[in-house]
Structure 1
Amino acid sequence: MTPDRPLQVWLVDDSPTDRLLAEEAFAQVGADCTLSTLASGPDTLTALHTPGVALPSVLLLDLNMPGMNGLEVLSVLKAHHTFRYIPVIMLTTSQNEQDIQQAYQQRASAYVIKPVRFEDFLQQVEGFVAFWSRAQLVTRR
């Protein structure tokens, strides 16, 4: 991360409740981090192609979404010459071994299971922000 650019996190999740909980958790963490939420894969791809948009430092991607699921979005991102460098963390309720293997085969940076309790999710977000705030990331546009 560069000192003049805080951690930019995009969360892609079709659940309004999960997006709201993430906004609350990131607000409670209070770090030098900006969270943007999107409701679908197509919304995300449109946003990424918007001229002048600040690309996310890290993208949190739900697996089970209608229309275009997380693995399909991941595949498109990793095939794109600029977007392939964005770390993508699958954030999902699926513990299915095939989903996990597919995500890593398609070059997901990590696969994280959404916890049931908000307190556990808050701890997960704290650890996530602490790690990615210190990581050296490729900045492209």
Structure 2
Amino acid sequence: MNVGPIKLLLADDDEDDRFFFKDSLSKLPFETNLLTVANGEELMSLLSTSEKNIADVLFLDLNMPRKSGFECLAEIMANDKFKDLPIIIYSTSMDEPVVNTLYEQGAFHYIRKPGEYSKLKDVIFKGLSSLINNSIKPSKDNFVIQSS
């Protein structure tokens, strides 16, 4: 990952979740630049028309209108242009078979959105720290990040 600001791309249809995510970033010890999209179609359109290095990491919600996070993940992983883009799934659900499938499909981490705003900063910090400290995809045992 680069040394300058971390370029983040967040795809999430929930306006409040986007706001809280952005607010949490301001409390982290990293300098970040955040770009957001509100659905899967916007995400795929942005990625298809952008330069290769639009983001250092993508936070991807699964349940979005128009095109789901599952569909986006599959399209992104099938495109060589984005083979080095780490994708952190960012979702409220925690269905183990789904989590296992997402790991197998190439997601870097799975963050379960915490129910409390106060814990959001911690899970985002854990996900970004993992990328900064080790750009190799974590083992299955370290795939899921949850608030404590």
Give the TM-score, by structure 2 length: 0.82
How many Å apart are 1:111 and its aligned residue?
1.3
Count of paired positions:
136
Question: Taking structure 1 as reference, are residues 133 and 40 closer, same or farther at Cα in structure 2, changes over 3 Å only?
Answer: same
2:110 maps to which residue?
111
Q: Percent identity?
A: 27
How many Å apart are 1:136 and its aligned residue?
4.4
Give the TM-score, by structure 1 length: 0.86
2:141 maps to which residue?
none
Q: What SS does the corresponding residue of 1:68 show, helix, strand or coil? A: coil
1:14-93 map, 5 Å: 14-52=13-51, 54-93=53-92
Letter paired with 2:123: Q
Give the gaps of 5 or more residues in structure 2.
Answer: 137-148
Matched residues in 2 for 1:51 and 1:111: separation? 25
How many Å apart are 1:100 and its aligned residue?
0.8
Which aligned runs of 4 or more in structure 1 are off by greater than 6 angstroms?
Answer: none
How many Å apart are 1:79 and its aligned residue?
0.3
1:95 maps to which residue?
94
Q: What SS does the corresponding residue of 2:7 show, helix, strand or coil? A: strand
Question: Taking structure 1 as reference, are residues 79 and 131 closer, same or farther at Cα in structure 2, changes over 3 Å only?
Answer: same
1:2 maps to which residue?
2
Higher relative contact order (CA 8 A, sep 6+): 1
Q: Deviations over 1:36-85 (max 9, x none)?
A: 11111111111112244742111010011122111100000000011122
Question: Taking structure 1 as reference, are residues 23 and 51 closer, same or farther at Cα in structure 2, changes over 3 Å only?
Answer: closer
How many Å apart are 1:89 and its aligned residue?
0.8
Question: Taking structure 1 as reference, are residues 129 and 106 closer, same or farther at Cα in structure 2, changes over 3 Å only?
Answer: closer
1:11 maps to which residue?
10
Question: Taking structure 1 as reference, are residues 82 and 53 closer, same or farther at Cα in structure 2, changes over 3 Å only?
Answer: closer
Letter paired with 1:42: E
How many Å apart are 1:131 and its aligned residue?
2.9
Give the gaps of 5 or more residues in structure 1.
Answer: none
How many Å apart are 1:127 and its aligned residue?
2.3
Matched residues in 2 for 1:101 and 1:48: separation? 25
Q: Name the Cα RMSD after superposition.
A: 1.8
Question: Taking structure 1 as reference, are residues 121 and 14 closer, same or farther at Cα in structure 2, changes over 3 Å only?
Answer: same
